[in-house]
Amino acid sequence: MTKFKRVLLKLSGESLAGAQGHGIDVDRLNAYARQIKEVCEMGVEVGIVIGGGNIFRGLSGAGRGFDRVKGDQMGMCATVINSLALSSALEAVGVKNRVLTAIRMEPVGEFYTKWKAISALQQGEVVIMSGGTGNPYFTTDTASALRGIEIEADVMLKGTRVDGVYTADPEKDTSATKFSEISYDEIYNRGLKVMDLTATTLCKENGLPIYVFNMDVEGNLRRVMAGEPIGTLVKN
């Protein structure tokens, strides 16, 4: 038995860069593929949204003089590159999957619809949903919230490089303490940066819980599915 039947897994583009700090670290990519395979073998239906910050981030591009809309479109393309890389890694370990894109990009990927995604999940395929929301000014966190709600996921799993939500940034404040569970309202009140405000509001208003955990420790995704309390649950 697993804690969740259908999940939306949000992966960080920055984490995909690994120790090199940019691009795609093949070892990290393959470790992600192995973890995803583990939970698929447990019978979990897995939808994935992956960021593009290891290649290009639209908002930081705008700060360097790029047009914001074009910068965000470049960021969407970066998420497609990461999604194709993950798709290839999953295929290499025998996991059936398909890449859907928020903007038309055939034959790179199929155009996303909710019903196409759910049908593929029910057939046992991992569904990688790329291109963000297809619109500028929205982050991949917001895309994750939107896709999680659309595919009727039980939870959004936010795989990061920290093991949960803390009172402060644990990488900067050694006295920060970790929450095992926290409400959306407390996140607002404390000003904690779990996700951007749009994404958090979408989850709150539609009752989609978020589980924050460290995806960079191999085996952690399986532990979450088994119900081990290794991260932080965010809910109403």
Would you state the pLDDT for residue 60?
Answer: 72
> Does residue 67 sit in helix, strand or coil?
coil
24-28: long-range contacts, CB 8 A cutoff, minimum separation 24: 24/54, 24/82, 24/85, 28/216
Which domains occur in the chain, in start order? Answer: 6-161+213-229 (3.40.1160.10)
Quick check: helix, strand or coil at residue 86?
A: helix
CA gap 164, 10 in Å, rounded: 14
Other CB atoms within 10 A of residue 113 CB: 11
> Greater confidence, 62 or 106?
106
**What is the overall mean pLDDT for the chain?**
94
pLDDT of residue 172: 87
73, 144, 153 from 80: Cα distances, Å: 11, 14, 22
Q: What pLDDT, on the 0 to 100 scale, is given for residue 204?
A: 96
Lowest mean per-residue pLDDT among 52-66, 93-107, 160-174, 186-200: 52-66
pLDDT per position as a tens digit, 123-146: 999 999 999 999 999 999 999 999
What is the spatial distance between Cα 76 and Cα 81, in angstroms, rounded to a whole number? 9
Q: How far apart are CA 40 and CA 5, in angstroms?
A: 10
* pLDDT at position 159 over 90: yes
Return the number of other C-beta atoms located less than 10 Å from residue 223's C-beta: 16
Give buried/exposed letters for 123-132 (b at 16+ CB in 10 A, else e): eebbbbbbbb
Whether the predicted pLDDT of 208 surpasses 90: yes
What is the pTM assigned to this prediction? 0.94
154 SS3 class: coil
Q: What is the mean pLDDT of residues 57-79?
A: 85
